[in-house]
Amino acid sequence: MVEEETQLKELISSAEIKERLLQVSRVLDEKYYGEELVILMIMKGAVCLAADLIRTLNMKLSIDYIRCSSYEGQERGDLTIIGEEYLDLENKNVLVVDDIFDSGVTMDSVVKKLKLKNPKRMESLVLLNKLIEKSTEYRPDYTLFDVEDLFVVGYGLDYNENYRELPGIYVFKNSPE
């Protein structure tokens, strides 16, 4: 239905995301057994992943967020980070959650900045990792899926603020216009 109307092709279904999320959550449950975790969402793209993750984890947790933005349509611009001044991460276990690890610039910059707030441990989780050469050495600790170098939307990922609500991950069959 969604696919016919908008010329989108499904790459990863919501069932596949759910299944993989359960696997990763069990790994995290074990790793942080008896501890507390701050789920630090990079908004807006991490909204669906974080919302599902906090309901599949079995541990004491809290949520917080920053906003990062670097895209206009499919064009990359400068990275802006908003809201880090409000975070208290001192001596806390922090899991930074983002939608997609593309060049790596966003996660690398965020992790570097947030480490200055003296967390006890800082790890990162991404829904997707694009199979491209990275411009940074940093790698996420947990990845749900590797994907080809295509522009994807759905499950939090947008094109000009559209398509975030789609339950799976999609690519455009032709140009998104």
Nearer to ligand 5GP by Cβ, of 6 and 103: the residue is: 103
Binding range to ligand 5GP, per CB under 6 A, among 9-17, 26-34, 47-55, 147-155: 147-155
Cα distance between residue 129 and residue 140, in whole Å: 9
Residue 103 interacting entry, from ligand 5GP, Mg ion, none, C-beta within 5 to 8 Å by type: ligand 5GP
What string of DSSP letters covers 22-61? HHHHHHHHHHTTTSEEEEEEEETTTHHHHHHHHHH--SEE
The single residue among 53, 104, 169, 172 that binds ligand 5GP, judged by CB under 6 A, is 104
Cα distance between residue 78 and residue 9, in whole Å: 29
The single residue among 100, 114, 125, 166 that binds ligand 5GP, judged by CB under 6 A, is 100
Nearer to ligand 5GP by Cβ, of 22 and 51: the residue is: 51
Position 158 contacts ligand 5GP (CB under 6 A): yes
Nearer to ligand 5GP by Cβ, of 15 and 150: the residue is: 150
Cα distance between residue 122 and residue 79, in whole Å: 21
Position 98 contacts ligand 5GP (CB under 6 A): yes
Position 102 contacts ligand 5GP (CB under 6 A): yes
- Told to judge if 158 belongs to the known catalytic residues of this protein, a careful annotator would answer no
Which of 52, 98, 99, 102 is labelled catalytic? 102
Pair of tokens at residue 103 = 């060049």
What string of DSSP letters covers 75-133? EEEEEEEESGGG---TT-EEEEEEEEESSSHHHHHHHHHHHTT--SEEEEEEEEEESS-
Cβ neighbours, 10 Å, residue 165 = 12
Nearer to Mg ion by Cβ, of 45 and 168: the residue is: 45
The binding site for ligand 5GP (CB under 6 A) comprises 45, 70-71, 98-106, 151-153, 157-159
